[in-house]
Amino acid sequence: MMGGEGGLRSFHTRKEFDEARCENLIRRFHFHTGDINVDSFRKLRERVAALDEKFGAQGNVLFYFAMAPRFFGPLCNALYEAGFQEGPGWRRIIVEKPFGTDLESARALNVDILKHWHENQIYRIDHYLGKETVQNLLAFRFSNGMFEPLWNRSHVDNIQFNVCEMVDVQGRGGYYDHSGVLRDMIQNHMFQMLAYLCMEPPASFEADSIRNEKAKLLQSVRIYTPDEVAINAVRGQYGPHHNGGGEVEKPGYRQEKDVDPKSSTETFAALKLLIDNWRWQGVPIYLRSGKALWKRSTEIVVTFKKAPEQIFRGTAVDELEPNRLVFHIQPYQGIELKFQAKVPGPTVELQNVDMKFSYGDAFKASRYTGYEVMVYACTRGDATLFSRGDLVEAAWKVAQPILDYWSANPVGSEFPNYMRGTWGPPTASDLIERDGRSWFEVVTPDVLERLPLFKGAEPLLLNSVIMALRPTTAAPGETVISIDDAANQMYLIARGEAQIIDRAGKVMETLHDGDFFGEVGLLLCTARTATVRAKTQCDFFVLEKDEFSRILREHPQFAETLRKFANERYDIAVSCEELMSPS
């Protein structure tokens, strides 16, 4: 069964499935049942000794604790009392997360586990750190001389970590309602990635050398007071999604199975962190994660400071865009550098371009799953990718004041505050916009192809549009464009409903996910002929007039698509030549 449907075959990542090796592995599986007590574990030790003699394991034993944290201490005690610490070979323990539910419980777990076992025998696993792109953060930083000199407060403006999940709690409401995204995702996965990205260069790639630097980094993250938490942390909870008829299509979090109908548990969180050391002093680190969002992706965006703009005065360049380095962690795995280049022609005009590295395109080797990498590393005694006790405590020290503040200030009727499938609550945008910045939404071709306007579009067009898009949001009832305003943008609705309203205030049409508006004013160079107002929370992609015109000129097929839409929707006859005219 393990090699068949639903077993190992379902989860393997190799290009071909090796039946012989699979069967050889399965023949070595043995099962033994028992309780968490000394007698049961003594019988287990006898069974392990017999298998060791048969297969020549040289006394090496790896224990994997895939149980609730409250069992970790009793398990360690039972193993010790049963004599598993004795004999030849190594003994190692893998401990699954969550490692504690707060700072106090994490410290208590450390005490329980280390009562009979040494730190170098304990491997606290975080499967995120087994992903190739996470490991590549270290290789990228310390093997490429061109970036490390820029990796500091003098050159980096801000760093953004995004972990977006399209899925909801998937029937795990009972667990999640006692956890929330801060515990489930940010305190462990995201803080670990933060440590890799921002730590000082280690003396070597030895495990303790790297983990020492990770600990120093996490210990440098500012611990907030309650007043600082109120300013630098926001939370959200997803609400239901309604269909066009106003009926609930998918439930909100409070309607999920085993969830308290008045739950204050956050399914979304956004934080601004500060690292108080020489390298990063004053550079804001923005973290954002949530469930039931608009896409599934994990990425890190390093935004560098802008170049001086004065040199371009007198040219067609009004403003320079900052350079960005994007680490794609999942589902796409790669690295992307975004910069600006001159548009071919007699005048100085700039266009956003990018250089991409994709693991799938660059390497033929099969990818490994995170858990596969971590278990293999443990068998080799390589603790580089695992958390040490002081690392766990340092991460909890950062998270604890936030948890305490949220616990002392329940949200009540403020939740839910974002709709399924959106970018999250508007308060997350407010958090970063107070600093004069905005979230950099990483758009991938598959996201753009969900919109009817770009379905089946060629990759070059998709990439050109992606580089030009600017995200924006609107709250319910907010006016997006007003009648008679100058036409400077085209809007694409990523999620939400917007109403087109005439001069008399009558709703002429309601637009939904995937629709777009504002293109007529750009096409005909006229003022707005209607007002557009958000009916629900809306997330938009915006194409500015200059970028819109450039894409039309460079991609005739896009001009043809727009011409057809204009004809069908507004009975406007316009030729492709007119659309692509620079005027």
Alpha-carbon Rg for the chain, nearest whole angstrom, is 27
Angstrom distance (rounded) from CA 532 to CA 536: 12
- Judge whether 162 and 301 are in contact, CB under 8 Å: yes
Tokens 């996965």 belong to: 189
d(CA 441, CA 323): 15
DSSP 315-352: SS---PPPPEEEEEEESS-EEEEEEEEEPSSSS--EEE
Residue type, 379: T
At position 158, the amino acid (one-letter code) is N
Q: What b/e string do you get for 496-523 counting C-beta neighbours within 10 Å, with b at 16 or more?
A: bbbbbbeeeeeeeeebebebbbbbbbbb
Here the contacts of 567-571 (C-beta below 8 Å, separation 24 or greater) are: 570/520
* Closest of 164, 199, 183, 378 to residue 275, by C-alpha: 199
Q: Give 3-state DSSP helix, strand, coil % of the chain, rounded to 5.
A: 40, 20, 40
Out of 127, 189, 328, 555, pick the active-site residue.
189
The amino acid occupying position 89 is G
The pair of three-digit structure tokens given for residue 156, joined into one six-digit string:
């980096």
Report the alpha-carbon distance of residue 197 to residue 189 in Å, rounded. 13
Q: Which residues contact 556 (CB under 8 A, 6 or more apart)?
A: 576, 580
Contact 89, 60 (CB under 8 A): yes
Give me the residue label for tokens 């406007």: 572
Query: 151 to each of 192, 203, 305, how far by Cα in Å?
Result: 18, 17, 11
Residue 234's DSSP bridge partners are 270
Please list, in sequence order, all residues whose beta carbon lies within 8 angstroms of the beta carbon of residue 150, skipping any fewer than 6 positions away: 156, 304
Kindly give, in sequence order, each residue whose CB lies less than 8 Å from that of residue 520, ignoring residues fewer than 6 positions away: 487, 526, 529, 566, 570, 572
Three-state SS at 265: coil
Known active-site residue 189: yes
- Positions annotated as catalytic residues are 189
